[in-house]
Amino acid sequence: MPYLSRTARSLSLTRLPWRQTDMRLLVPVFAMIAAWLTLSTILKANVHGTPGATATLTASYYSYAFRNALMFFQGALIIGAVRLALGILKGGGLDYLKAAVAGRKKRLMALPLLFVAGIVSFALFMSAYSTIKVRIPTLHPFAWDDTFAAWDKALFLGHDPWTAFGFVYRTPALLRTIDFLYDLWAVLLVGSWIVCFVTGDRADMPRRLRYCLSLMVTWFIGGNLLAILLSSAGPCFYEHVGADPTHYSGLAAHLAAVPGLRAPDMQAMLWQTFQQDGLGIGGISAAPSMHCATAFLFVLMFGRTPAWRAVTGAYFCVILFGSVILGWHYFVDGLMGMAVAFACWKACGHVVGRLAPAEGS
């Protein structure tokens, strides 16, 4: 039996109500987070960067994870309540509810513990990631913005990609919708992570483990290692780092003309924090786009039926083009993020296939 299975089995012999299946997810996830935290702590001790970079964001990420997880599950509970009500009406009254709960008491007792494990692991994951990310300008000052802007123009036949979306800027309701869906990404990110911990499907555990590992590897390779190599700030900050400060002034003017958008306010806050040597949440890094990488992982993880492939694929397109429309990313950032996510999903599939052979293809 693989080492992971033996470790998970021994740990599951405690009085805690979770199962060996849960431990086979928790052990590798927390092991990778521990390694990542160790690396980020070493880097933090040797690369001081700005004065604000000596602080820690872990507490902030606990709040971030808890808030977004609650928002996600509020929506999930509403959907679940509607489905349960329909089942009660169609399945013989309260007997349907009793049958749904029967035999699941131990699992229901484990859910709070698994929910907390998901919150803690996500906060530590994001803390390790951000500890490295905020040091990118110190390790490698922004140097690729002019190159990525030129690549974007070449891909769009001599035009900046955002200019192809004039109809969006002329329709404030559509622009606000894209801004909202782009902001919703944080809720879906945290929610999808927590779902992998609390779901009770034994057979699906390898896929949930694959998603968690893929997400972490994608953010480490793409959001840390490649982000250092390809250090860039993005179109919204091009006036501060690019060769021509007015290059994206037209995009900025379009966004400023529509009140109520979150993107311009967040961008201003991030740059102000960067100038004041503070941390903020996330730091500044454009390439590869972790928004697009994560949205593409949504497709790979949850697009298992034609309907869900359509939903997740459409959302990925909103994030890919929305990142350009809102000025967060160059178009090539999204393409790189998608490529990194796909490679990590494939690689982690092979790893999980060895740890849990039932994964299959």
Average pLDDT over residues 336-350: 94
Tell me the pLDDT tens digit for each residue of 37-90. Answer: 898 888 877 776 544 444 555 566 656 566 666 665 666 556 555 655 555 556
pTM: 0.82
Q: Is a pLDDT exceeding 50 seen at residue 111?
A: yes
Q: Binning pLDDT at 50, 70 and 90, where does residue 160 land?
A: very high
Element (H, E) at 34: helix 20-46
DSSP 165-229: GHHHHT-HHHHHHHHHHHHHHHHHHHHHHHHHHH---STTHHHHHHHHHHHHHHHHIIIIIIHHH
Q: Which two tokens stand for residue 213?
A: 């590992």
Interhelix angle 306-325/172-198, nearest 10 degrees: 130
Q: Which has more pLDDT, 350 or 198?
A: 350
33-42, 134-143, 193-202, 240-249: range with lowest mean pLDDT? 193-202
Q: Is a pLDDT exceeding 50 seen at residue 105?
A: yes
What burial letters (b/e) apply to 341-358, b meaning 16+ CB within 10 Å? bbebbebbbebbeebbee
Q: Is a pLDDT exceeding 60 seen at residue 185?
A: yes
Cβ proximity of 16 and 110 under 8 Å: yes
- Residue 223 CA: distances (Å) to CA of 61, 249, 287, 292: 17, 27, 8, 11
Cα separation of the two ends of the chain: 20
The domains of the chain are located at 3-359
DSSP 115-126: HHHHHHHHHHHH
DSSP-H helix ranges across the chain? 3-11, 20-46, 58-90, 94-101, 105-133, 136-139, 145-155, 166-169, 172-198, 205-220, 227-229, 238-241, 249-256, 262-275, 290-302, 306-325, 331-355
CA distance 177 to 269: 21
Which pLDDT value is given to residue 215? 94
Which pLDDT value is given to residue 81? 57
CA distance 194 to 278: 29
DSSP 329: -
| CA-based torsion, 42, 48, 54, 58: positive or negative | negative
- The closest of 343, 327, 231 to 293, measured between CA atoms, is 343
Q: Is a pLDDT exceeding 70 seen at residue 284?
A: yes
Average pLDDT over residues 199-222: 86
Give Dmax over CA atoms of the chain in angstroms.
70
Which pLDDT value is given to residue 149? 94
